Amino acid sequence: MVRALPIPLAAPLPAPLLSLLATYRLLVNEVIREALSTGQTSLGKLSRFARTRAFVHQLTGTHAITASTVALSILKSHRKRLRHGLPCRAPYVRRAFLRADDASFHVDPIPQRIRVSLRSGVWSSFPIVVSEYHRKVLATPGLRIKQLHLTPDRVVLLYEKPAPTPYAPTALLALDTNERSLDGVCVTPSGTRAAVLKFPEIAVIQQRHVTRRRRLARRKAHDRRVGRRLLRSEGRREHDRVTSRLHVLTKRLVEVARKHRAALALEDFTKVAARRATRRAKSLGTSRPFARGRAGSGIRSKPLRRRLSSWPRAELHRQLAYKAAERGVPVVWVDPYRTSVTCPKCGVYNGPRSRMGPTFECVACGWRLDRQLNAGANVGRIALRETAELGGLKLDLDALSDDAVRPRYPFQGLGRARAERKEREGIVTTARRVRRVST
Ligand SMILES: [Zn+2]
């Protein structure tokens, strides 16, 4: 897995490196122009062009190859915008930067410097601040430094480290992703329990920032330059507040799953997007994979569409995925198709309108459950069906429908639930009997 490690600069970059960054930007723009004028999209041909230009600018050939890769990725998103019919101009890089691969730079943690190759045999170096944390990361066994991303005020190292092999799970934690919570089931050999992780504050923060940005935009309507700057910093503040909360949430969840040797089951939203695109292409009678038009824009109101598109579920899943891979927690990705409108008990599809209301009620068998928990139960059912390693586990739906069940944090009170059921069934454990006698 590839991770990023930002490193603070100890002093401003020296002049030769600043000029390297400026030349590199020039080179990327030249490759972009060449590709646009010739319609070239192959890395091999563009790198050959970039090498001749790098020779003119007196740069190392390795910089030319990364410059072509950067140019190609910029052009790829440009072509995507064109395909979607979005307004766009020919791409042009304005900021000086450098992307160097591992052959053209060296990190020296002892004198705390990074050396970068300018041209054949000529190097320039700059001082960095190496903290205890950086030393720890760089000392990871099996670590490979891949790339250096450099701008005049930012240094980021990309490194690859081997991921541990996931353990064989003995439990399952299946969760349905909702706007203010993750809801689902916790299946262990000793029983099934409803699980919920609430994060209502994220939606609240987003709403607060929306109103704040609106007010700012209104107040600064006469000065677009200042308005744009203020809005950007306001947006960044919102982003930071939301992601930091997500980090706390996902770290704790992955830790809990690891402690109980559970596999995580989550919905794979990429499948939804792919299905929607093909369905739309079919309805338009074209073979274009990306047809324009918002799904359900006629049904959903504008505030709802805004809320749904700013909902950070992709970020939540991204964090869960990489943290789970890092800690060796297996993740099962489940196709969420109809998980919120299907009965987990009898498997009957209840039609699109059954998504409404706080409770899911099956038209065929009368099964009732909280709508969000029900979707989580379906995710669990599919994960158990599709994963052979989870063969020993059984989803006990009746344990969920018990009126006494209040969803808790995953794995909390699992033992207690068993004790309660035993007590109901007339099996009283000795400890309880003793206590009863004494009172
Ligand atoms: Zn049913």
pLDDT per residue as tens digits for the range 350-382: 887 777 788 888 888 888 888 899 999 999 999
Q: Residue 126: what pLDDT?
A: 94
Q: Model confidence at 291, in pLDDT bands (50, 70, 90)?
A: very low
Q: 368 C-alpha vs ligand 1 centroid, how far in Å?
A: 9
How far does the centroid of ligand 1 lie from the alpha carbon of residue 361, in Å? 8
- Please report the pLDDT score of residue 295 as a whole number: 47
Residue 192 CA, ligand 1 centroid: distance in Å: 19
- Per-residue pLDDT reduced to its tens digit, 106-143: 998 888 999 999 988 899 999 999 999 999 999 988 99
Q: What percent of the chain has pLDDT over 90?
A: 59
Ligand 1 centroid distance, CA of 434 (Å): 43
Q: What is the dihedral of CA 234, 239, 240, 245, to 10 degrees?
A: 130
Residue, of 305 and 5, whose pLDDT is higher: 5
When pLDDT is cut at 50, 70 and 90, the band that residue 418 belongs to is: low
CA 180 – ligand 1 centroid, Å? 27
pLDDT at 77: 92
pLDDT at 130: 92
pLDDT band at 324 (very low <50, low <70, confident <90, very high): very high
CA of 416 to the centre of ligand 1 (A): 29
> What is the average pLDDT across 380-400?
88
Has residue 333 got a pLDDT over 60? yes
How remote is the CA of residue 384 from the centroid of ligand 1, in Å? 18
Over residues 56-77, the mean pLDDT reads: 94
Q: How remote is the CA of residue 174 from the centroid of ligand 1, in Å?
A: 20
Chain segment 145-168, per-residue pLDDT in tens: 999 999 999 999 999 988 899 999
pLDDT at 438: 44
> Greater confidence, 250 or 397?
250
Mean pLDDT to the nearest integer, 180-208: 91
Q: What's the gap in Å between 358 CA and the centre of ligand 1?
A: 17
Give the pLDDT of residue 428. Answer: 46
Rounded to the nearest angstrom, the distance between the alpha carbon of 378 and the centre of ligand 1 is 12
